Amino acid sequence: MYIAAAILSVLLAVVTLGAGAPKALLKGDVPAMLQSHLGLSAGLVRFIGLAEIAAAVGLVVGLFWQPLGIAAALGFTVVMVGAVGFHAKAGDYADAKTRGNAMAPIILTVLSIATAVTLVLAM
């Protein structure tokens, strides 16, 4: 079970780091879209990016100390549930043009829960 936990942790860490870095730096299209379309402040976007980076670090360190990996996966789950809520509030799931981008938090929520579960089972 540890191999599955390690694969999921690394996969989620890479995706999380890739998603969090532009938000923390406020660079690129995603932070601008979050500010304009969802109405988030620059400070909140940066905070979300830093939380995602912290989750990525926690997932990697969690390969060696699993309680931290579990906490990081569950913390990232909370961030993604919040993202789903913001996308739902903005009506992104009803609009065919924005539905594709809004599905990422749902997929990442499932992936982070699966990572937490496998880390628990690998202990």
Q: Concatenate the DSSP letters of all residues of 55-102 into one string.
A: HHHHHHHTTTSHHHHHHHHHHHHHHHHHHHHHHHHHTTTT-HHHHHHH
Q: How far apart are CA 71 and CA 80, in angstroms?
A: 14
Q: How many domains are there within the chain?
A: 1
Q: Per residue in 74-87, is it b (16+ CB within 10 Å) or e — as a string?
A: bbbbebbeebbebb
Mean pLDDT calculated for residue range 28-46: 85
Do residues 38 and 90 make contact, with C-beta atoms less than 8 angstroms apart? yes
pTM of the model: 0.88
Q: What is the predicted pLDDT for the residue at 123?
A: 82
pLDDT in tens, 59-103: 999 999 999 999 999 999 999 999 999 889 888 888 888 888 889
User: At 39, is the pLDDT very low, low, confident or very high (cuts 50, 70, 90)?
Assistant: confident
Provide the residue range defining the domain that includes 94. 2-122
R_g over Cα of the chain: 15
Asked if 116 and 73 touch (Cβ cutoff 8 Å), the reply is yes
